[in-house]
Homo-oligomer: A and B are copies of this chain.
Amino acid sequence: MFESAEIGHKIDKATYKAAVPALRAALLEAQVNLQENKKIPVVVLISGQDGAGKGETINVLYEWMDPRFISTLAFSMPSDEERERPPMWRYWRSLPPKGRVGIFAGSWYSDPIRQRILEEVSLKELDAQADQINRFEAMLVNEGALVLKFWFHLTKEGQVKRLKALEKDPRTAWRVTQWNWDRLKTYDKLQDVAGHLLRLTNTPWAPWVVVEGTDDRYRSLTVGQILLQALQKKLASTDKQESPVAPMVRVDTDGRTVLSELDLSLRLADKTYEDELSRWQGRLAELLRDPRFKGRSLLCAFEGADAAGKGGAIRRIGAALDARQYQVIPVAAPTEEERAQPYLWRFWRHIPRQGQVTIFDRTWYGRVLVERVEGFCAENDWLRAYTEINDFEHELAGSGVIVVKFWLQISQQEQLKRFKAREQIAFKRFKITQEDWRNREKWDAYQQAICDMVERTSTGNAPWTLVEANDKNYARVKILRTLCERVEAELAGRTPKGLQPLSKKARKVAKSEFPTAEDNGKGTEKSKPAGKSKAKGKGQ
């Protein structure tokens, strides 16, 4: 990969001076277009050997372009706010919004390379990291970003020569320290690791550009021209550049789905409910005070049809926690700043710190549910979202975030009943909107979308729990219990093994409450036991 950057590329002074004014004017013009276009975030990675001119090149770009619309992000030691979140969090928070250029001095490549040089990770682990990087960059490109990755190369001899030259000039001598000379010792190792990683991450959507770093003029002009051409091409192109996606297939030819298999008649009597609820609330409170939770965090995702009882369930979880330990994030339309970023950005910004809990009321699954069904995004967007979401949750889980996802399923009749009931109660009135009534009309399309979602995103690290929610008592207890079981297993170091229905035994306990008519799902509209309304008023 590095051969063509070892042939002694050089630009003479006259050529350089002749080329720069036009290049600079064109870069400025492209930058203005970029800003007016407001669709493309530009991500430029500057990496490579020490002394190969990384800093100088960034400064040249600043000189040539309008520095007000560039941000340079240097990533050295992560701050404690960064260390307490997944490694990619610091890069997500630094992504340039659409219309701006973000220069990454140090990037998601730095840690993998460093770790491998120090032999903190195996080659296999490095490969896994490369895969994760490729997927991340594919996401950026699919979201419209221009991703340019520069690697500045110097031969070992070139590096020695350059360091000596820097040392000799009093204006630059301060930049050379013993540290730089020591780094020379790892030259071969770095070349080796970088060569491997660059090859693996040299994707069609975000290829590496290896630039010879010896000659300042050559390096500056090359980077400037590549950046210009890439900008111009991207701005001129009207076709979306996207990873291919396969169409959705159906496997429910017998009419059975994970949703149709749910027994919505499951109920809990009020007395049992109250006992179970406080039991699991107590348990959850204990678990989240467990010293082992200090290094973890918890992320609960709630999805469900309107009036499925998400709010009530979240409230029951909250009752077990200290308000200072958790945040509830209601997901509504994205803000202007969120729209200028990749889809998942607005969820990344709420990832909890260690020891903290975030509960999402509606989630990143909006893309494959409401956005898909209502046509708010292109088919390609939601089709690739499954993978992006899995990657997202994989990164969370990989860094110790416990991800627990609930789908609250109710029947259409139950939903209608709740809508009507809500309209009667003063302080719940606001919850019913025209949109809620409209969504009901697309019931079947939503059911299909939910099944596809579960099929594609119920993973080992972050399984879906489908909750039979026609009975609020049953649903709340199942949710709290599942939460406790997941947190407990995670703290004990066991990872979940996939979709986790309530255990057979637990199911039996629930069933035994109403052993007869409701077993076959016909009991959902039955009037509730007399004690119900009282308990409800109290519990809410």
Contact = CB atoms under 8 A, between A and B. Distances in A.
B430 A324 contact: no
A69 to B, nearest CB: 7
A331 to B, nearest CB: 9
A63 B315 contact: yes
A55 B326 CA distance: 13
Nearest to A58: B323
Nearest to A106: B324
Interface string A53-91: 001001101110011111111100001110000000000
Interface stretch (A25-33, A367-375, A444-452): A25-33
Nearest to A331: B68
A337 interface: yes
Contacts of A329: 68
B74 A361 contact: no
Contacts of A28: 427
Contact of A72 (B59, B171, B324): B324
A318 B68 contact: no
A314 B63 CA distance: 11
Contact of A324 (B24, B55, B322, B537): B55
Contacts of A80: 79-81
A324 B74 contact: yes
Nearest to A28: B427
A327 interface: yes
Contacts of A337: 335-337
A328 interface: yes
A67 B357 CA distance: 14
B59 A322 contact: yes
B537 A318 contact: no
Contacts of A361: 68
Contacts of A55: 322-324
Interface in A296-317: 311, 314-315
Nearest to A26: B427
A507 interface: no
A398 interface: no
Given A68-B330, A324-B74, A59 B319 contact: yes
Interface string A15-44: 000000100111011001000000000000
A69 B174 CA distance: 53
Nearest to A336: B336
5 contacts: A29-B426, A67-B318, A103-B323, A336-B337, A337-B337
Given A25-B427, A66-B311, A68-B314, 17 more contacts: A21-B537, A26-B427, A29-B426, A29-B430, A58-B324, A62-B315, A62-B323, A67-B318, A68-B311, A68-B361, A70-B328, A72-B327, A74-B324, A105-B323, A174-B289, A335-B335, A336-B337
Interface of A: 21, 24-26, 28-29, 32, 55, 58-59, 61-63, 66-74, 79-81, 103, 105, 171, 174, 282, 289, 311, 314-315, 318-319, 322-325, 327-330, 335-337, 361, 426-427, 430, 537
